[in-house]
Structure 1
């Protein structure tokens, strides 16, 4: 009996790699062999997934700054033979760096730009930028500044390009841009389709979770529109520009980035569809599944692959919302919540690894008793 295990992370509890290994260990005790695929969607865990799913990569650590310009050490994945770098926005500009007093008006993505610059200086010619988990809404201007773009107000004073500066931009100069950029290709790894501005734009949809007050949204969105107008000559609603607080726009417009699904990139390098074909059954899951899961979330994309291949698929999850029938229609054989007793959310996350291992053991006993 052969299982394919491809579980997404349980946020603040387990990484994809940790979750996969726990299930594989439980299955092995019952004689079930497993193939493990580390999974991510462009957010946290994307670098680890690339490094785990193909050989020849290494984790590089370099000095950078966080979203408030505080010095930190940042990491990215690098494949020397392919001249390929994998960078997560969250590594330097993630929401985990937010603390009291930090709001989009006084943060930016400069630290992510420093990671990109370091990778290019190392020799990277292809960069995959995972756009999940960002804590800023600066339209990607911090990244651009780190790469040599310069922003000035109408008095020709240079702007640092925190969020509060978006509405002040009058001129963008490119004479100091890193020359190597001309030889580099970018891919935005993201499943977000929001435009940069408007009712579904970066400030409106993602600003509040990063500290933007409801009363500030309209003015912030207008400032973002102003920035886009100065940069491009118009305000457009290009899909994906709003990803990661507008980084999607900066990388697409200024650096010519292509936009690809983070999950599909991982699926491609790991040959996931082929592995599903060779498995007897498939295991996926994440912290919570709900109605939004049907809008491209990783476990459902995996269950759809299983359905197309005629394989059973079990989702091991922390919490389920939504009808079983709806999940069944998307190829899920059963949704199996791992929490087996009344507990708080904090307790459930702390005991996540133990609970997942216990559920995997239960499932293995059922599968091997047939």
Structure 2
């Protein structure tokens, strides 16, 4: 019996790599061999997954700033032979840097732009930018500033381009843009299709979870529309522009990025479909599965691959919302919540590895007993 283990990260509890190893160890104790695939969808863990699945890469750590412009160290992946950099927006501009005092009015993605600039200095000619887990709604203006674009208000004063400056910008200057930028191909790794503005736009859909006050959402959306008009001459509804608080727009319009599914990129580099075909059963999972899981979340995309290959698929999760029958329709044999006693969310995250160990042992015993 051979298992393919490809579990997405349990946010603030376990990385994909650690969760995979926990399950593999328990399966091995019961005579079940396994192959592990580090998995991600463009958010947290994308760089680690890429480095785990493709040889020849190294992690580069460099100085940058967080979304409030405080100095930090951040890491990205670089593959010298391919002149390829893989960068997570969440690494320097992630939601984990938010505090109750910070709102999108105060933050921007300048730190992510510094990571891009560093990768280009290392020789990157292609940059894959994972857009998941961002903590800003700046339309990607911070990234653009770090790369040499300059933004001016009506008095010709240069703007820092936090969210508060979106409504003030009157002119965008490209004369000091990094010369090497024109030779770099960008890929936006995201599964979000929201436009930049409107009812499904960055401010209304993603603003509240990043601290945007409900009373300011309409005003902020107007400011984003103004910023887009200054940049392009009109407000359009391009799919994916709203990803990561509008970074999708900056990448598409200014950096001519190609948009690809974050999960599909990792699936290609890890040869996931072939691995599914070679396994007897598939293991995936993440912190929570619910109705949003059916909109392209990693575990369901993996269960669909398992279903197409006629293989059973089990999901280890911290919490399940939704009916078992609905998951079954998507190729899930069983959803197995790992929390087996009453505890707070904080306790569940802290004890995630222990909880997963117990549940993996239980499933391994069931599988072993069924083979006898």
TM-score category (smaller protein): over 0.9
Cα separation, 1, equivalents of 2:13 and 2:100? 24
Instruction: State the match for 1:366 in structure 2.
Output: 366
| Paired position in structure 1 for 2:272 | 272
Which 4+ runs in 1 deviate beyond 6 A? none
| Structure 2 counterpart of 1:159 | 159
CA separation in 1, counterparts of 2:146 and 2:55?
A: 30
User: Which 5+ residue runs of structure 1 have no aligned equivalent?
Assistant: none
SS of the residue corresponding to residue 60 of structure 2 reads: strand
Alpha-carbon separation, structure 1, partners of 2:168 and 2:85: 33
What is the match of residue 222 of structure 1? 222
Deviation at 1:348, TM superposition (A): 1.4
Matched, 1:207 2:215: no
Give the structure-2-normalised TM-score: 0.99
- Would the aligned equivalents of 2:136 and 2:210 in 1 still touch at CA under 8 Å? yes
**1:169: how far off?**
1.0
| Count of equivalent residues | 370
Which residue does the alignment assign to 1:133? Answer: 133
The 2-side partners of 1:116 and 1:8 are apart by 25
Q: How far off its partner does 1:184 sit?
A: 0.3
Alpha-carbon distance in 1 for matches of 2:69, 2:39: 30
State the 1:100 CA deviation.
3.3
**TM-score using structure 1 length:** 0.99
Q: How does 1:83-232 map to 2 (within 5 A)?
A: 83-232=83-232
Partner of 1:340: 340
The answer for the alignment partner of 1:81 in structure 2 is 81
1:75 is displaced (CA, Å) by 0.8
Counterpart secondary structure, 1:285: strand
State the secondary structure of the residue aligned to 1:74.
strand
Checking the alignment, whether the CA contact within 8 Å between 2:100 and 2:211 is kept in structure 1 is no
Once the two structures are superposed, residues 59-102 of structure 1 have per-residue CA deviations (whole angstroms, 9 ceiling, x without a partner) of 00111011111111111000011100000001111111111321
- How far apart, in 1, do the equivalents of 2:255 and 2:304 lie? 34
Give the secondary structure class of the aligned counterpart of 1:105.
coil
SS at match of 2:105: helix
Secondary structure of the structure 1 residue equivalent to 2:212: coil
Give the secondary-structure state (helix, strand or coil) at the position aligned to 2:166: helix
RMSD (CA atoms)? 0.7
CA distances 1:290-318 after superposition (whole Å, capped 9, x unpaired): 11111111000000000000000001111
Deviations 1:171-215 (A, max 9, x none): 111110001111100000000111000011001111111111000
SS in 2 for 1:28: helix
1:347 and 1:182 map into 2 onto residues whose CA distance is 48
SS for the counterpart of 1:61 is strand
Partner of 1:298: 298
What CA distance in whole angstroms lies between the structure 2 residues aligned with 1:158 and 1:219?
Answer: 22
Counterpart Cα distance in 2 of 1:291 and 1:135: 23
- Matches of 1:152 and 1:184, distance apart in 2: 26
**Which one is further off, 187-196 or 346-355?**
346-355
Within-5 A mapping of 1:7-86: 7-86=7-86
Measured against aligned partners, the alpha-carbon deviations of 1:312-335 in whole angstroms (never above 9, x if no partner) come to: 000111111111111111000111
The 1-side partners of 2:26 and 2:239 are apart by 42
State the alpha-carbon separation in 2 of the partners of residues 344 and 55 from structure 1. Answer: 40
How far off its partner does 1:12 sit? 1.1
CA distance in structure 1 between the aligned counterparts of 2:31 and 2:202, rounded to whole angstroms: 49
3-state secondary structure, aligned to 1:25: helix
Per the alignment, in what secondary structure is the counterpart of residue 286 of structure 2?
A: coil
Superimposed CA distance per residue, residues 6-43 of structure 1 (whole angstroms, 9 cap, x where no aligned partner): 00111111111000000000000011111000011100
The alpha carbon displacement at 1:342 in A equals: 1.6
